[in-house]
Structure 1
Amino acid sequence: MRLAPELSPSGNWALLARAVLEELSSVGVPVLLGVRPVEGRVPLLLGLRSETERTAVADRVAAALRAGVARAGLERSGSHPPVVVVGVAGGWAAAGAGLRHAAETASAAQGLDDRPWYDARRLDIDLLLWRLREHPDLAAFVDRAIGPLRDHDRTSRPSLLPTLEAYLAHAGRKAETARELHLNRQTLYNRLARIGELLGTDLDDPQTVLALSLALRARRHTS
């Protein structure tokens, strides 16, 4: 679990650790818990009997972690600290690498849609973009890909970036996109046409879709 800087307890990590450990006692599996105050991280190792337990245990652990955060008075309204779960380590030699992977991925997960927990194996792209966050080429790529939309949304309505995000999230399925945005089909078509015009590109082109999807994910780390 990764706490945002504004939520990190000032000198009271022991209270957080005790609250989390007490909540974890009901999970039903062996737990090793630590805290990393400088990094704002709470790392855990759990003893599973088999890989099939992973999802069910992850649900219980995420709930226990967040309950502990709430008991320590560190809960922020409207969002939760991201909880990231990696795969079965298989042995002590691999446990360190697994914890480092989880810690990095939890940092990369800041600002994603709120979920009970994230599977690190599904966040590899976000982790890669996070590692590149200080490289000037990443910011330049975002500007090239979606800069005109960002400029449009600063001064004009309706905002078009949310439309593009929903369209790509639904893999270009217009009916589903229109339902999510509560738009009629023609209004959606007009917005998509305007997006294509501003970007000078074809939203049906697979390479364009890939570049726009990456740029939308990368902008969290460059803005």
Structure 2
Amino acid sequence: MLGFRPGSGPLLPVVMRLGDSLSPQGGGWAVLARAVGEELAALGVPVLLGVRPVEGRVPLLLGLRAETERPAVADRVAAALRAGVERAGMLRPGGRAPVVVVGPAGDWAAASTGLRHAAETATAARGLPDRPWYDARRLDIDLLLWRLRDHPDLAAFVDRSIGPVLDHDGRSKPALLPTLEAYLAHAGRKAETARELHLNRQTLYNRLARIGELLASDLDDPHTVLALSLALRARRHLP
């Protein structure tokens, strides 16, 4: 009845979440749905499209011929979704693009769970670097931390783990938190960290040594690295 004929292959759940600054008002949702639908129609894959104005989300299911199509179809769908947002006149120059989350492919029995997982993950993905799309399965830690965002133990954990660095950055320069974030993002590879931050090696070593002093921790210790990585991710979700 809805014109969705996916065949016998797996279904791919996808959710686009619009930021608060992008959420259309009134009849804007109809304009957005039409623009997104027209962009998706050009992909040549079966699509079931919906809109959820209250949550600011656009969920959809796509029919795949095989699981191996998932990455390529996800690339094309993410591009079509963003093109639809632009056609609807909602994406301003320099504005933050919507978040697109792709869930695991599965059968009809898994479609509902997959859409809910992708929808929650799209909310938990706020504050992450802009990407064409995120794999819901790789953001399960962020989703868990987002669900715990109002628990006082999470705030206490963040304060214990990185509080001294935050206090330092509130009083002194240069700020050390970006150095810590880049260092952990590059898994402790100092050369790559220095290149990203446009620092010479000695300056980077000095900043890392200062972070170690403030935290009274060894930044080469795996348990310390894990705790700091979790604390940085948790910090994005705190009220």
* TM-score bin, normalised by smaller chain: over 0.9
In the alignment, which residue of structure 2 is the partner of 1:127?
Answer: 143
Write out per-residue CA displacement over residues 1-28 of structure 1, whole angstroms, 9 at most, x where no aligned residue.
0011221111121111001000101111
* Alpha-carbon separation, structure 1, partners of 2:34 and 2:151: 39
Match of 1:61, as an amino acid?
Answer: V
Write out per-residue CA displacement over residues 158-214 of structure 1, whole angstroms, 9 at most, x where no aligned residue.
110010011111111111111111111111110001001111111111111000000
Match of 2:25, as an amino acid?
Answer: S
Are 1:82 and 2:99 matched, yes or no? yes
**Greater share of helix:** 1
Structure 2: runs of 5+ lacking an equivalent: 1-15
* Alpha-carbon separation, structure 1, partners of 2:96 and 2:53: 20
Number of aligned residue pairs: give it.
222
Q: SS of the residue aligned with 1:7?
A: coil
Deviation at 1:98, TM superposition (A): 0.5
In the alignment, which residue of structure 2 is the partner of 1:44?
Answer: 60
In the alignment, which residue of structure 1 is the partner of 2:7?
Answer: none
**Greater share of strand:** 2
In the alignment, which residue of structure 1 is the partner of 2:8?
Answer: none
Q: SS of the residue aligned with 1:123?
A: helix
Deviation at 1:72, TM superposition (A): 1.3
Match of 2:39, as an amino acid?
Answer: E
In the alignment, which residue of structure 1 is the partner of 2:48?
Answer: 32
* Alpha-carbon separation, structure 2, partners of 1:70 and 1:176: 35
* Alpha-carbon separation, structure 2, partners of 1:10 and 1:155: 42
In the alignment, which residue of structure 2 is the partner of 1:163?
Answer: 179
Are 1:178 and 2:194 matched, yes or no? yes
Q: SS of the residue aligned with 2:99?
A: coil
Root mean square deviation of aligned Cα:
1.0
* Alpha-carbon separation, structure 1, partners of 2:229 and 2:95: 25
Superposed, 1:49-60 pairs within 5 Å as: 49-60=65-76
In the alignment, which residue of structure 1 is the partner of 2:223?
Answer: 207
Q: SS of the residue aligned with 1:207?
A: helix
* Alpha-carbon separation, structure 1, partners of 2:131 and 2:206: 32
Match of 1:2, as an amino acid?
Answer: R
